[in-house]
């Protein structure tokens, strides 16, 4: 099921980019989010960490060092990875009733990296639309509402 979700996410992302000119936050992100749409707190936590990563790179690190190309990608993914760890530590040390774990270690960084190019809200919106489409296609292909 994971492989199918990732494949559908990649295909829909490529199609959506060609038709509308908007990219989701990385080729694999819609597939991963689609698998967790039944856990909205986790999806929102992932988007929140993606936004924190975007803000940290755009308004912090990019003002201190020159970031473009592979360097920007690497710094953004690493920042998302670190913020994922900080959130995991904070959730583990606080009594949180909801499941606020972030989805994937590099998903927030991929989301933030695309957001640096086209804007955060356009990226987050496109990613969520594609995740819902992937989820519907998974349900249709499996014959069961997931």
Domain residue limits at 110: 2-17+43-142
In a domain, 84, yes or no: yes
pTM reported for the whole predicted model:
0.88
Residue 144 has pLDDT above 70, yes or no: no
Residue 29 maps to a domain? no
| Residue 27: inside a domain | no
In a domain, 104, yes or no: yes
For residues 31 and 9, give the distance between their C-alpha atoms in angstroms, rounded to a whole number.
Answer: 5
Is 31 a domain residue? no
pLDDT at 96: 63
Which whole number is the average pLDDT over 109-136?
95
* Number of domains into which the chain is organized: 1
- From CA 54, how far away is CA 35, in angstroms rounded? 23
Given a contact cutoff of 8 angstroms between Cβ atoms, the answer to whether 9 and 27 are in contact is: yes
Structure tokens of 139? 């349900």
Q: What is the pLDDT of residue 146?
A: 53
Mention every residue, 6+ apart, whose C-beta is less than 8 A from residue 42.
36, 99, 100, 101, 102, 103
Q: Does residue 136 fall inside a structural domain?
A: yes
Q: Name the percent of the chain lying above pLDDT 90.
A: 73
Query: Would residue 26 count as lying in a domain?
Result: no
pLDDT confidence tier of residue 119, bands split at 50, 70 and 90: very high
């Amino acid at each position: 099921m994971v492989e199918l979700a990732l494949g559908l996410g990649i295909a829909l992302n490529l199609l959506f980019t060609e038709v509308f000119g908007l990219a989701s936050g990385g080729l694999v992100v819609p597939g991963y989010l689609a698998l967790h749409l039944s856990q909205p707190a986790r999806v929102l936590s992932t988007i929140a960490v993606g936004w924190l990563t975007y803000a940290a790179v755009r308004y912090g690190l990019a003002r201190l060092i020159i970031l473009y190309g592979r360097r920007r990608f690497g710094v953004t993914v690493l920042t998302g990875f670190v913020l994922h760890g900080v959130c995991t530590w904070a959730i583990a040390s606080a009594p949180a009733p909801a499941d606020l774990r972030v989805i994937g270690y590099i998903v927030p960084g991929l989301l933030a990296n695309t957001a640096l190019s086209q804007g955060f809200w356009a990226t987050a919106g496109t990613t969520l639309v594609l995740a819902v489409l992937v989820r519907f296609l998974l349900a249709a292909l499996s014959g069961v509402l997931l």
